[in-house]
Structure 1
């Protein structure tokens, strides 16, 4: 609609400016000429009131229907300029009416050139209208004419300054909007990368705790079965059965990881039952002595999975590194939490020098549930793994 409204600014503020300008124009622009013409001759009174009503109607239409094809803003401003000239003629001067109407030539035009041209035409008509009845008298030249010209010049200067200020503000706003959009895109990309990294880490941990451990067991069992083929066929058959069972479990875990099966690993129910089954398999595969204290404890699915994965990782480390003969597993229910202790009488290790993925994976898994992992070991004294999980992490 106007040079200001065409810019991507705050339309609420623009509409407020237009409403305040309209109220001021009606109060200080239309009403004074209407009051001043009351004592004039009937012809002048009717003509002026009719012109004021016409320009008020046009103003209302343009303000409420700016896209009306029958009355464009430029057409309205041309009508306003003619009414200003006619008012100056009928009232012997109309500089005050012109000054009050001057902001509209900037509010309802698209470019400063249009505003300068149309407001200049209105100024000329105002001066010309006043001279028709009074002529070029000294009183007129020092009054309405000079006041109109000065107002036009001041309006042009102020309008150009405001136009430049608004333009700079809009440029700054566009720049800030562009920078904000760029920042939002960068943040979205960063969140996406972070999410992908977290998902890769989760998958790596799950693969290490399930598939990798299962394949390691299969390799160990296959080597033992090959050695026992000729000397102990019965033992070889047991190990082949363990290989088959481990492979099936790995297949089930693989289906969980690719999303073609619901999350499993720990069947709903007692954690103690699942841990006993895991320990029985461990004894069957390794021949080690295992003692266990596993009371039935009600825990959430995520907590049961975390405790099972920590047990599997600890048993895998015992099998691969410790050289132990005895393993102890104790599950204890505490006030507000649960504790799992796994010990062995193996060769031990220096905890600070451990660089394996397993312990770090256990710590990260437990941290997601506000849990803690404590590993105590020294060379020749075995190893103690202590897992502590709060029950408030249950879902």
Structure 2
């Protein structure tokens, strides 16, 4: 019998098979040996053995295993032993069912009580013979042999059964713990995946859609000032608003369907960054000097995306915070890395400085591809310089 815990055993089909076989063999012995070992009522013995089989296989399913000495396990054992005694009283050959009782007591009662019950069961046939016919009974030698065999084999078999049941219980508990642990690991993995995807999408939205909307807001404010004074500039800025909105829409659709940024769709990283510089200059009026090497090798799709997003974030920060009049963007490489440098002549960093969401996201993305991010003062200690290096 498997142990699913002392109060909830998991029934094993071998228990039913063993009990059925032992009771069946004993019933056969009672009927076949009736001539040589006559009894008071072979039919009564058969009925008692059938009742014992039903009791052991049906009622036993809800009996606690290796628990305390409570009324349920104690009553279960006493009824089984009583039915066996009735069978032996009706036909002495029913003593053959004794091997069915040792597993019952040792799988149900605590070890000390089980040993006491096993000793009692072993000497019961001898006691019944003496009570029935006294020391002159012709069955005395057989009863004595059964008692001695039971006294020797009962405790040994019982201890083996107890250890087996305890091992099964421990194994069942371990399986339950492993199942719970696997479920918890799966839950944590899903949560970590959700958190990572949420962070990725937040970074994508910040670097694309949010910056596009910021450009639209800035251009709208410029148009408000130019409507009455410079209609041509207002028209140019209106066209830029339309272009930026279309790019945002395309970026949003791309974000839904795949991971490659629209700017890199069918284009090299140098070309994408050059277009980014041209758009920035047109929208802000800030002069951009780009030194972008056309032969810059790809850092792989992940590395190229990281460098493009870093350039977008750097230019967005310059637009919003730097107060700069000019910007320099450099993209070059050596044998094992691609470097992006964005510098401006604005106000630089204020002290104390704490990275915002954009810079934290940039550092995280660059670290994921094994790169580095460095912030330092610009030329002549003016403005800010951002260096991003990604291995190829």
Same-fold call, TM cutoff 0.5: yes
Q: Give the 3-state SS of the residue equivalent to 2:262 in structure 1.
A: coil
Could you tell me which residue of structure 1 aligns to residue 188 of structure 2?
A: 190
Within 2, Cα distance between the matches of 1:151 and 1:303? 80
Cα 1:85–1:237 shift into 2, 3 Å: same
The 2-side partners of 1:360 and 1:295 are apart by 28
Aligned residues of 2:26 and 2:94 also touching (Cα < 8 A): no
CA gap of 1:125–1:238, structure 2 versus 1, over 3 A, is closer
Paired residues of 1:339 and 1:386 also in contact (CA < 8 A): yes
User: Quick one: distance in 2 between partners of 1:370 and 1:237?
Assistant: 44
Q: Shift of the alpha carbon at 1:268?
A: 2.6
Aligned to 1:96: none
Aligned counterpart for 1:285 among listed residues 272, 283, 287: 283
Q: Is the 8 A contact 2:219 2:237 kept in 1?
A: yes
Contact 1:272 1:294 in 2 (8 A): yes
Residue 388 of structure 1 pairs with residue 389 of structure 2: yes
SS in 1 for 2:174: helix
Cross-structure match for 2:353? 353
For 1:182 and 1:84, locate their aligned partners in 2 and report how far apart those are by CA, in whole Å: 54
TM-score, normalising length from structure 2? 0.67
Q: How far apart are 1:141 and its partner, in Å? A: 7.8
CA distance in 2, matches of 1:186, 1:257: 31
Q: Does 1:256 align with 2:254?
A: yes
Does the 8 Å CA contact 1:205/1:361 hold for their aligned counterparts? yes
Question: What runs of 5+ residues in structure 1 fail to find an aligned partner?
Answer: 19-61, 90-108
Give 1:344 shift. Answer: 0.9
CA RMSD of superposed structures (Å)? 4.0
Aligned residue runs from structure 1 range 77-96, under 5 A: 77-78=25-26, 81=29
- The answer to whether the 8 Å contact 2:2/2:168 transfers is no
Cα gap change, 1:329 to 1:351, in 2 (>3 Å): farther
Instruction: Find the aligned partners of 2:225 and 2:381 in 1 and give their Cα distance.
Output: 29
2:176 to 154, 172, 178: 178
**Structure 2 vs 1, CA of residues 82 and 337 (structure 1 numbering), >3 Å: closer, same or farther?**
farther
Cα distance 1:263–1:270, how it changes in 2: closer, same or farther (>3 A)?
Answer: closer
State the Cα distance separating 1:184 from its structure 2 match. 2.1
Show the counterpart of 1:244.
Answer: 242
1:230-241 alignment, distance < 5 Å: 230-241=228-239
Q: Distance in 2 between matches of 1:263 and 1:286?
A: 23
TM-score, normalised relative to structure 1: 0.66
1:274 equivalent in structure 2: 272
Distance 1:257 1:84, change over 3 A: farther
**Unaligned ranges ≥5, structure 2:** 38-55, 61-75, 98-124
For residues 372-387 of structure 1, the aligned pairs below 5 Å read 372-377=372-377, 381-387=382-388
SS at match of 2:257: coil
- Relative to structure 1, the CA distance from residue 83 to residue 335 in structure 2 (aligned partners, 3 Å threshold; closer, same or farther) is farther
Q: Following TM superposition, by how much is the alpha carbon of 1:178 offset from its aligned partner in structure 2, in angstroms? A: 2.5
Query: Partner of 1:364 in structure 2?
Result: 364
Distance change (3 Å), C-alpha of 1:194 and 1:352: farther
Helix, strand or coil at the partner of 2:327: strand
- Taking the aligned partners of 1:357 and 1:250, their CA distance within structure 2 comes to 20
Task: Give the distance between the partners of 2:253 and 2:11, measured in 1 at CA.
Answer: 55
Asked whether the equivalents of residues 351 and 376 of structure 1 are also in contact (C-alpha less than 8 Å), the reply is no
CA drift of 1:305 comes to 1.7
- Superposed counterparts of 1:110-259, under 5 Å: 124=95, 145-259=143-257
Secondary structure of the corresponding residue to residue 376 of structure 2: strand
